[in-house]
Amino acid sequence: MTGARMSTARRELALSTKGFMPADEGEALWDAAVSAAASVARAPMLEVGSYCGRSTVWLGDAAERAGRLLFAVDHHRGSEENQAGWEHHDTDVVDPLTGKMDTLPFFRRTMHDATLEAAVIALVGRSPQAASVWTTPLSFLFIDGGHGEEPARLDYEGWTPHVVPGGLLAIHDVFPDPADGGRPPYEQIYVPAIESGQFDEVSVTGSLRILRRI
Provide the minimum distance between the beta carbon of 5 and ligand SAH in the complex, in angstroms, as a whole number: 17
**Residue 61 within binding range of Mg ion, rule CB under 5 A:** no
168 by DSSP, 3-state: which?
strand
Q: Which parts of 14-33 interact with ligand SAH (CB under 6 A)?
A: 19-21
Q: Is 11 in the site for ligand SAH (CB under 6 A)?
A: no
Beta strands in 104-162 (DSSP E): 120-124, 138-143
10 binds ligand SAH (CB under 6 A): no
**Under rule CB under 6 A, residue 114 binds ligand SAH:** no
Backbone angles phi, psi at 208, to 5 degrees: -95, 130
Q: In angstroms, give the least distance from the CB of 144 to ligand SAH.
A: 4
Q: Should residue 58 be labelled a site residue for Mg ion when binding is judged by CB under 5 A? A: no
Strand partners, 199: 213
Spacing of C-alpha 169 from chain mean position: 10
Catalytic-residue membership of 172: no
183 lies in the site for Mg ion, by CB under 5 A: no
Of residues 46-65, those binding ligand SAH (CB under 6 A): 49-51, 54-55
Catalytic residue among 76, 88, 112, 147: 147
Give the DSSP letter of residue 94.
B
Sign of dihedral through CA atoms 208, 140, 53, 126? Answer: negative
Q: Taking the alpha carbons of 13, 15, 19, 21 in that order, is the dihedral positive or negative?
A: positive
Q: How far is the CB of 140 from Mg ion (least distance, A)?
A: 16
- Residue 1 per-residue DSSP state: -
Position 190 contacts Mg ion (CB under 5 A) = no
Q: How far apart are CA 157 and CA 11, in angstroms?
A: 32
Kindly list the catalytic residues.
147
Which residue ranges make up the site for ligand SAH (CB under 6 A)? 19-21, 49-51, 54-55, 73-79, 103, 126-127, 144-146, 151
